[in-house]
């Protein structure tokens, strides 16, 4: 059932029983609502994705944090969906033409799920993702070899666990808008990413902004919005 509210309120809701989907978010912000898969049953994920796609057939809608059962049901019920089993995302519909470019830079292979979540989000939210992988500071030459590619982006997302030094180093190499994503990756007592998060919050490089631990989605949204307004 779709509920309509007074004109000008910016509110039109699809009531699915288990969720009330905000159908006019795209009109207010430029982007449709996203399905957060964690805590939802597979059938709820499919129903929400389908309803959002029906409301926004001209673009793409996104579901994140899907478990294996949700991935399997989306594949069966929504065969046109683009699934990323590493990033745990599903995209239904065709993303809008991209405006601007976002360099999504990953420190190591262990950070790849967060990187891929970010890359998919950037694409759905209207910018072109450029994925730069395995350039952590333990091999600084690998990062320096990609410096021009990173510096030419309209926005940069740096994804790193361990001590999360990568965002600080990139912040000293480029003046592009830079968003750090600390990840819950590390040896020993890394406190599920708290060590990395505190490191990015206390970066000595100016201009480094930080999202929450493993939040590739949040960083992707912010970076895409920066990039698509830059051109």
DSSP string, 122-143: HHHTTSEEEEE-S--GGGHHHH
- In tens, the pLDDT along 3-24 reads 545 445 556 899 999 999 999 9
- pLDDT tens per residue across span 54-74: 999 999 999 999 999 999 999
Strands laid side by side in the 12-15 sheet: 2-4, 12-15, 20-22
pLDDT of residue 82 exceeding 60, the answer is: yes
The pair of structure tokens assigned to 195 is 């060590």
DSSP state of 81: -
Element (H, E) at 100: none
pLDDT at site 6: 46
β-pairing verdict for 20-22 and 12-15: antiparallel
pLDDT tens digits, one per residue of 178-197: 999 999 999 988 899 999 99
Q: Which domains does the chain have, with CATH numbers?
A: 2-92 (no CATH), 101-228 (3.40.50.1970)
What pLDDT, on the 0 to 100 scale, is given for residue 190? 87
């Amino acid at each position: 059932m779709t509920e309509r509210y007074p004109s000008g309120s910016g509110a039109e809701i699809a009531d699915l029983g288990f969720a009330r989907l905000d159908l006019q978010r795209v009109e207010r912000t430029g982007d449709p609502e996203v399905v957060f898969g964690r805590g939802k049953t597979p059938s709820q994920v499919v129903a929400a994705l389908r309803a959002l796609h029906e409301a926004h057939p001209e673009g793409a809608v996104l579901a994140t944090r899907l478990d294996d059962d949700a991935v399997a049901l989306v594949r069966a019920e929504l065969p046109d969906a683009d699934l990323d089993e590493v990033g745990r995302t599903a995209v239904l519909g065709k993303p809008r033409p991209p405006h601007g470019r976002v360099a999504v830079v990953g420190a190591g292979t262990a950070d790849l799920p967060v990187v891929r979540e970010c890359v998919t989000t950037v694409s759905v939210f209207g910018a072109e993702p450029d994925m730069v992988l395995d350039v952590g500071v333990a091999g600084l030459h690998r990062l320096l070899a990609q410096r021009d590619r990173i510096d030419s982006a309209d926005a940069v997302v740096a994804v790193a666990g361990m001590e999360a030094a990568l965002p600080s180093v990139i912040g000293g190499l480029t003046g592009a808008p830079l968003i750090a994503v600390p990840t819950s990756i590390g040896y020993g007592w890394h406190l599920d990413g708290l060590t990395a998060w505190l490191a990015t919050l206390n970066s000595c490089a100016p201009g480094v902004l930080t999202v929450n631990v493993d939040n590739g989605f949040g960083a992707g949204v912010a970076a895409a919005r920066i990039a698509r307004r830059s051109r």
